[in-house]
Structure 1
């Protein structure tokens, strides 16, 4: 079957030229290698690298070899570094010519450099299998200066590793094309270096847009009233860049069904940008619970929008079940609800459960029950 696939591909690769004024003559221009070489390559990609026959045939258009010597040594290096069969398949299918690279002269120096900067072997397997063409980048002209630049921006080599692990493509892309123009925009708008580092560390994908799109998003965040000197500015920038204008308008509409005006939505967004990052379904379920189950005024939530982004099953329902008992006994006031939801669990248990066991001994069992249902 593989041989037939290879022969078909070879036939498609030939160019048949009809020569004008040459009567019935035609000229067949053969492919640069034989069908046997193509067949061997396809077979190797399937059996040694784990590619499907279709993926192997596609990859064989970009790489060709007649003996397994070099590919075997490349696969041996990847296996020694802890790459799983699936990760090896991902690397080869996306970057087939890696099989022709010198393990000792090309691949190993790059891998050892990244290890020296803090990447573990499992880290490298995940990063490289996600963006295999990192291995095609020059060590001295790209990898080293790019990693140094990212480290300077995020203020430590450890943070640079963390940023790349979250978004491997940031190590592959040219800083001069993707990072530097956007960072310049942020600096020109008064965003502190520390907050720029936070943005790169946690929201790397937001840099992979055109400079014009990025600048438009920055202007939009400023127009919404965010202070560029505060970390909320870059958080809002991330949220806005994550959604389309139509999605933004739909979420405003969902909040509008609960009585929020556009000014209320803008206020909530300034206080907690993540309230616009949750899904429309999550907004509806959370608002329904707070308004119809807890009896709160919807505008009370607009002033405390952080509660919208909390887990309904694991945080809101269990804690509100306790809070509702305390409220019925007059032991707490409504304005304490947001506090009860956002504090760490240990503090919640101390301030809203253990403290009131004398007046409401069922609180701990009630909380455990609701948490058990959530889990």
Structure 2
């Protein structure tokens, strides 16, 4: 009986605390319910369906006045955003409408404009990548873009390459540059991947630069096992190619060559001459080897010396040209 009495008292205290909790009746009689309704109406006026507006507002229980949302939307309109671009920006980062436009958004917008996102390029970029507005200007945006710019082309005054990369891969800015970009770049440079080779990797496989360093080391190790050497200009191409497929897929493609009579050493030599060979589909490799060796009678050793022949489109390039030559 004493236990039941104690339990009842404990439950009573919990109920009392729940009633005193400021948001316990948030969805019924909350003082913010009126403001929530205003925000829902505001979003509907921006073109959001009611269900989506209700869902978005539900994520922000402490809705205050509409001053900030109105200011943010007006800022976007002044920058040339279309209605659909404004909706897209809010949809990508709903909390953006609660930002202080003057203190938080405008400095970052000026920074992007100085980088080269001017005119219609800025709305186009932010409507798809408004999440960058949630990043720290001093700790994330400025240092990350400076690092990327240096890799691409330090002498590119108009930042054309930088704008192109960020437009396609704005997520490069999401991670702490001191924890990912700088250590990975330092490791790649220690392997002899510098200058244009580093720029090649950034453009072709940018996720490598913000991946865990141990993953990057695995790709380099696999490339070295294939016979690529540190400080070789082909190492960057090998790392890129290997990062595009799993070890299981790579092993399956190696087996395809072995099944067609190539030795392991010959296969490795072919990959060293043309690292992109491993990115070709298994069906394409089979078709190419069978056509060249069986239909054309080309020796296996020729393909070992010129593996790029297997990378051409058989249906659209090789076979049609062979037929033309046969007619001639």
- Using structure 2 for the length normalisation, give the TM-score: 0.79
User: Which has the larger displacement, 62-71 or 202-211?
Assistant: 62-71
Higher relative contact order (CA 8 A, sep 6+): 2
Of 48, 62, 69 in structure 2, the residue corresponding to residue 71 of structure 1 is 69
Aligned 8 A contact 1:310 1:316 in 2? yes
1:322, CA displacement in angstroms?
3.1
- Distance, in Å, in 2 between the alignment partners of 1:313 and 1:64 is 61
In the alignment, which residue of structure 2 is the partner of 1:198? 200
Give the deviation of 1:135 after TM superposition: 0.8
In structure 2, which of residues 101, 104, 125 is the aligned counterpart of residue 103 of structure 1?
101
Q: How far does residue 105 in structure 1 lie from its aligned partner after superposition?
A: 3.3
Q: Separation in 2 of the partners of 1:70 and 1:102? A: 6
**Do 1:291 and 1:298's aligned partners in 2 also have CA atoms closer than 8 Å?**
yes
Which deviates more from structure 2 when the two are superposed, residues 110-119 or residues 76-85?
76-85
State the partner residue of 1:311: 313
Cα distance in 2 for residues equivalent to 1:59 and 1:134? 21
**Cα deviation, residue 277, structure 1:** 1.2
Q: Which residue of 2 aligns with 1:146?
A: 144
Alignment of 1:22 with 2:12, yes or no, is: yes
Between the aligned partners of 2:189 and 2:288, the Cα distance in structure 1 is: 37
1:247 positional shift:
1.3
Alpha-carbon distance, 1:189 to partner: 2.2
Q: 1:205 and 1:274 mapped to 2: Cα distance?
A: 18
Equivalent residues in 2 for 1:32-71, closer than 5 Å? 34-45=32-43, 47-48=45-46, 50=48, 53=51, 57-58=55-56, 60-62=58-60, 65=63, 68-71=66-69
| SS at 2:215 equivalent | helix
CA change 1:21–1:77 in 2 (3 A) is: closer
Q: Distance in 1 between matches of 2:317 and 2:50?
A: 44
User: Aligned with 1:231: secondary structure?
Assistant: coil
Matched, 1:217 2:219: yes
List runs of 5+ in structure 1 lacking aligned partners.
1-17, 326-359, 361-375
Distance 1:154 1:119 in 2: 17
Per-residue CA deviations over 1:139-178 (Å, capped at 9, x if unaligned) read: 2333222222222222324333333233211133221122
Query: Structure 2: where are the runs of 5+ without partners?
Result: 1-7
Compared with structure 1, are the counterparts of its residues 60 and 84 closer, same or farther at alpha carbon in structure 2 (3 Å cutoff)?
Answer: farther
Aligned mate of 2:187, from 185, 188, 194: 185
Separation in 2, partners of 1:277, 1:87: 37
Length-normalised TM-score, structure 1: 0.70
For 1:33 and 1:232, the matched residues in 2 are separated by: 65
Alpha-carbon RMSD: 3.2
What's the secondary structure of 1:98's corresponding residue? helix
